[in-house]
Amino acid sequence: MIAGNGRVMLVIGLVVSVVGLLVFQSRKNAPKIAGQVNPARGENNVIDKVVDSIMSLAAPRGIRNNNPLNIKEPKDGGDFWVGELDTDPDATFEEFISPEYGYRAAKRVIDSYRRRGVKTLAAIISTFAPSSENLTFAYISSVSNRTGFAHDRVISDSDLPALFRAMAIHENGVAWAVHPSLSIDTINKGLALA
Ligand SMILES: [Ca+2]
């Protein structure tokens, strides 16, 4: 589920401006070594920490929760996922210690669908994002367009990286497609944990 695009773009615009200014200040004040045009960011730089905080505050909930596909909490509380955070700051969605564990859990969810015959792209998205809570058809179309997979394609394990990246972009917004949490590398590391 994603917020209105206008509001998202406004927030992103503001964040990019503030971050740009802070990074500029940070670079300007960093000690310069002869011949070094672009000094590396220092690990203990206060401005860097502020930048990181602003970035994480502005990120959509799927990225903040390390749950890029927005897996919901089970209604009965359920069991703990491997890699689930000890605390529960989001009452609706799961939180993980890293995005890899979010993808690991998603692989487990999709595997459970496939064991009960939910195997096509359309069937998997319809089960994962039911129309009672989502614009399911738009979700299926978005993922189909991005992956090139037909709606009736039976999803194989080798389809999962592309499927999860397309789902994560739909869940978090295309403006966040370049975020490391949504990278194929992160997704593959998560799948390897499942
Ligand atoms: Ca939660």
Q: What is the extent of the structural domain holding 180?
A: 61-193
Q: How many domains does the chain have?
A: 2
pLDDT tens digits for 134-173? 899 999 999 999 999 999 999 999 999 999 999 999 999 9
Q: Which of 9, 30, 58 is the last residue of a domain?
A: 58
Judge if 78 and 169 occupy the same domain: yes
Judge if 103 and 16 occupy the same domain: no
Distance (angstroms) between ligand 1 centre and the Cα of 139 equals 23
pLDDT tens digits for 71-104? 999 887 677 899 999 998 899 999 999 999 999 9
Distance (angstroms) between ligand 1 centre and the Cα of 25 equals 37
Judge if 107 and 68 occupy the same domain: yes
Write the Ramachandran bin of 22: left for phi over 0, alpha for psi from -120 to 50, otherwise beta: alpha
Judge if 104 and 182 occupy the same domain: yes
Distance (angstroms) between ligand 1 centre and the Cα of 70 equals 10
Distance (angstroms) between ligand 1 centre and the Cα of 187 equals 21
Contacts of 55 (CB under 8 A, 6+ apart): 15, 19
